[in-house]
Amino acid sequence: MAGGDTVGLVLAGGGARGAYEAGAVSVLLPHLEARGERPRLLVGTSVGAMTAVYLASVGHLDAEDAVSGLLERWRQVGKGEVIRSIIRRGGPSTVLRYGGEVLGVPGMRLLGLLDPAPLEGTLDNWVDWRALHRNVRSGAVEALAVVTTSVASARSTVFVEGRTRKELFSSYGIDYEPVRIANVHVRASAAIPTFFPAVRIDSPARARGWYFDGGTRLNTPIKPVLDLDADRLVLLAT
């Protein structure tokens, strides 16, 4: 690899295939590190965003240790760590809302077929957020980006934490927002319409609103990683 080249890793959305994606990362990352090509730009959509934030949090570790932790987390994930039954949560009222939505009754709306409430705690158990921010500040990770879709504009909104070399301009249906990546951004990226309710993001104020799964418009976010000035690109899609 040419000296100073920056490698970007794109982690596409894949629904329930996140474990497969993690397995591919576990083989690929040590190989890239051995070649001096470990990715320092991480961009993810939906389940790919979950993997991206984890990799950013362990960016200070060698690749073997980083992927070992990733695989261990996926081995421990069950349905209960991600979703729970809407019937058990809401009882008869949930059944009525579901029936009303199916029949088109005004004012009867079900926000999602599944309740993703457990995902918030699972992400906090997965990710050392302080280590993630520290790795970005130190340059171990040059930039981390999480892709969502804005309910208000129907455009892709990419939340970015990093030391970028240029201003990111909105174009081609993509808006960029510099933030400290947090749990809420990842949950928004993974909020698959119909199945999960949209997620409210309140900061920064100019981007305040509701967001859902980034994969509905930008499942394989190649343009964002190029806009972040990747010299070389590694793409994982399931």
Report domain extents, the chain. Answer: 7-78+119-236, 82-118
Burial 136-166 (b: 16+ CB within 10 A, else e): beeebbbbbbbbbbbbeeebbbbbbbbebee
| Whole-structure pTM value | 0.85
The phi and psi torsions of 69 (rounded to 5 degrees) equal -65, -40
Angle at 148 between CA 33 and CA 219, to 5 degrees: 60
Q: What is the mean pLDDT of residues 217-237?
A: 95
168-191 residue pLDDT tens: 877 789 999 999 999 999 999 999
Residue 115 has pLDDT above 70, yes or no: no
Q: In the prediction, which pLDDT does 153 show? A: 94
111 — pLDDT class (breaks 50, 70, 90): low
Residue 86 has pLDDT above 50, yes or no: no
Q: What is the mean pLDDT of residues 189-211?
A: 92
Q: How far apart, in Å, do the first and last CA atoms of the chain sit?
A: 26
14 — pLDDT class (breaks 50, 70, 90): confident
Q: What is the mean pLDDT of residues 94-113?
A: 43
Q: How far apart are CA 18 and CA 50, in angstroms?
A: 9
30-77 residue pLDDT tens: 999 999 999 999 999 999 999 999 999 999 999 999 999 999 988 887
Residue 106 has pLDDT above 90, yes or no: no
Burial 33-66 (b: 16+ CB within 10 A, else e): beeebbbbbbbbbbbbbbbbbbbbbbbebebeeb
Q: In the prediction, which pLDDT does 220 show? A: 96
Residue 165 has pLDDT above 80, yes or no: no
Q: What is the mean pLDDT of residues 154-178?
A: 87
Q: In the prediction, which pLDDT does 195 show? A: 82
Q: In the prediction, which pLDDT does 167 show? A: 73
